Structure 1
Amino acid sequence: MTSPATDRAPRRAYVVWLIALVAYAVAVFHRGSLGVAGIEAQERFSAGASAISLFLVLQLVVYAGLQVPVGVALDRFGSRRMIVAGAATMAVGQLVLALAHDVPTAVLARVLVGAGDAMTFISVLRLVPLWFPGRTVPVITQLTGLLGQFGQIVAAYPLVALLHSAGWTPTFVGAAAVGVLVGVLVLVTLTDAPPGTAVPVPAGLAEVRSNLVATWREPGTRIGLFTHLVTQFSGTVFALLWGFPFLTTGQGMSAGGAATLLTLLVVVGMGFGPLVGRLVGRWPLRRSDLVFGILAITATIWTVVLLWPGRAPLWLLVVLVVVLGTNGPGSMIGFDFARTENPVERSGSASGLVNVGGFLASLLTVLAIGFVLDVLTPGSSTDYSLDAFRAAFAVQYVFWAIGLVGVLTHRRQLRARMARDGVVIAPLVVAARARLRGGSAYRPRDDG
Structure 2
Amino acid sequence: MGGKTTAAAAAADGARRTDDIAPWVPWLMWGFGALFYCYGFFQRVAPSVMVGELMRDFAVGAAITGTLSSLYFYTYAGLQIPVGLVLDRFGPRRVLAAAAIVSCAGSAGFAFADSLLLAYVGRALIGVGAAVTWVAALTLAGAWFSPKRFAFVSGMTMALGMAGAVGGQAPLSAAVEAVGWRGTMVGAAVFAAVLGLAAWIIVRDRPGAGAKARPPAADHAFLSGLKRVLGARQIWVIGLYGAMTSAPMLSFAGLWGVPYMMRLYDMTRPEAALMTSLMLVGWGFGSPFFGWLTDAIGRRRVPMLLSSGGSLCSLLVLLFADLPLAALYPVLFLTGLFAGGIVLTFATARENAPGWASGAALGVVNMAVMSSGAIFQPLIGWFLDLAWTGETLDGARVYAAEAWRSAMIVLPVCSALAVTAALLTRETHCRPQA
Deviates more, 1:131-140 or 1:173-182: 131-140
2:157 is aligned to 144
Deviates more, 1:83-92 or 1:364-373: 83-92
2:365 is aligned to 354
1:400 is aligned to 415
Q: How does 1:21-60 map to 2 (within 5 A)?
A: 21-60=34-73
* Residue identity in the other structure for 1:29: F
Native 8 Å contact 2:33 2:134 kept in 1: no
RMSD over aligned Cα atoms: 2.3
Native 8 Å contact 1:2 1:10 kept in 2: no
1:390 is aligned to 405
Q: How far apart, in 1, do the equivalents of 2:137 and 2:217 lie?
A: 21
Q: Secondary structure at the match of 1:208?
A: coil
Native 8 Å contact 1:236 1:362 kept in 2: yes
* Residue identity in the other structure for 1:90: S
* Residue identity in the other structure for 1:318: Y
Report how many residues are paired: 414
Native 8 Å contact 1:36 1:240 kept in 2: no
Give the TM-score taking structure 1 as reference length: 0.86
> How far 1:342 moved relative to its partner?
1.2
Q: How does 1:72-221 map to 2 (within 5 A)?
A: 72-195=85-208, 199-200=215-216, 202=218, 207-221=221-235
2:289 is aligned to 275
1:260 and 2:260 equivalent? no
Native 8 Å contact 1:131 1:193 kept in 2: yes
* CA 146–95 in structure 1, closer or farther in 2 if over 3 Å, else same: same
Q: Secondary structure at the match of 1:148?
A: helix
Deviates more, 1:395-404 or 1:384-393: 395-404
Residues 224-265 of structure 1: CA deviation (Å, up to 9, x unaligned): 212211211111212210111111123212223222223322
Q: How far apart, in 1, do the equivalents of 2:206 and 2:36 lie?
A: 17
Residues 323-351 of structure 1: CA deviation (Å, up to 9, x unaligned): 22125421110001111221111010100
Q: How far apart, in 2, do the equivalents of 1:276 and 1:401 lie?
A: 19
What percent of counterpart residues are identical? 27
Native 8 Å contact 1:59 1:113 kept in 2: yes
* Residue identity in the other structure for 1:224: I
Native 8 Å contact 1:21 1:144 kept in 2: yes
Native 8 Å contact 2:250 2:372 kept in 1: no
Residues 160-199 of structure 1: CA deviation (Å, up to 9, x unaligned): 2221122233221111111111111111111111115873
Native 8 Å contact 1:223 1:337 kept in 2: no
2:304 is aligned to 291
Q: How far apart, in 1, do the equivalents of 2:214 and 2:151 lie?
A: 23
* CA 31–324 in structure 1, closer or farther in 2 if over 3 Å, else same: same
Deviates more, 1:11-20 or 1:64-73: 11-20
Q: How far apart, in 2, do the equivalents of 1:32 and 1:135 lie?
A: 32
Q: How far apart, in 1, do the equivalents of 2:369 and 2:331 lie?
A: 19
Q: How far apart, in 1, do the equivalents of 2:217 and 2:166 lie?
A: 40
Q: How far apart, in 2, do the equivalents of 1:352 and 1:108 lie?
A: 23
* Residue identity in the other structure for 2:106: G
* Residue identity in the other structure for 1:166: V
Runs (5+) with no aligned partner, structure 1: 416-426, 435-439, 444-448
Runs (5+) with no aligned partner, structure 2: 1-12
Give the TM-score taking structure 2 as reference length: 0.88
Q: Secondary structure at the match of 1:374?
A: helix
